[in-house]
Amino acid sequence: MYPVMLNLAGQPVAVVGGGHVAARKISALLAAQAQVTVISPTLDPAIPQAQVQWLAQAYRRELVQHMVLIIACTDQPQLNAQIRQDASPGQWVNNTSDHRASDFYNMAQVQQGQVTVAISTNGHAPSRAKKLKQQLKTWLKAHVD
């Protein structure tokens, strides 16, 4: 894997799925100023409807054709795999049910001032990354202005 930070400001991004995982992903995408489209018949109350375009329908391939990045986070692993398979060359896809079938996965991230630290367990232990994130957050607050 090659760690990068993506500039998604103004870029069209699709999140397929409307549950709690989608809510977490959408929060980070909105913080990055991405133009987020959510494709899901239902929407978790934590997803800010006023800040996303919500297509209240089932996934169809043509709905994501112009997206630069797609996050497949439904509760159906087969559908997430299909979304990955449907992607065009040049589209980056994150299949939240199978990190091995993803072009990328998100890292736990801590920011203090102008310092950003990202933590990855290469998709194997997200809970460990979360714990390290909390420890780093405490350390950065004490040592970075």
CATH number at residue 28: 3.40.50.720
Kindly give the residue spans of alpha helices, DSSP state H, lying in 10-88. 20-31, 77-86
Instruction: State the amino acid at position 138 in one-letter form.
Output: T
> Residue 120's domain spans which residues?
108-143
Per-residue pLDDT 10s for the chain (145 aa) are 888 899 999 999 999 999 999 999 999 999 999 999 999 999 999 999 999 999 999 999 999 999 999 999 999 999 999 999 999 999 999 999 998 999 998 888 999 999 999 998 887 888 898 899 999 999 999 998 7
Contact 96, 38 (CB under 8 A): no
pLDDT in tens, 110-144: 999 999 999 988 878 888 988 999 999 999 999 98
Contact 49, 42 (CB under 8 A): no
Q: Residue 37: inside a domain, yes or no?
A: yes
Whether 50 and 17 share a structural domain: yes
C-alpha closest to that of 83 among 16, 36, 12, 35: 16
Whether 89 and 21 share a structural domain: yes
Q: What's the total number of domains in the chain? A: 2
3-class DSSP assignment, residue 62? helix
Whether 65 and 125 share a structural domain: no
Whether 121 and 96 share a structural domain: no
Contact 53, 108 (CB under 8 A): no
How far is it, in rounded angstroms, from Cα 66 to Cα 98? 23
How far is it, in rounded angstroms, from Cα 28 to Cα 11? 14
Whether 114 and 133 share a structural domain: yes
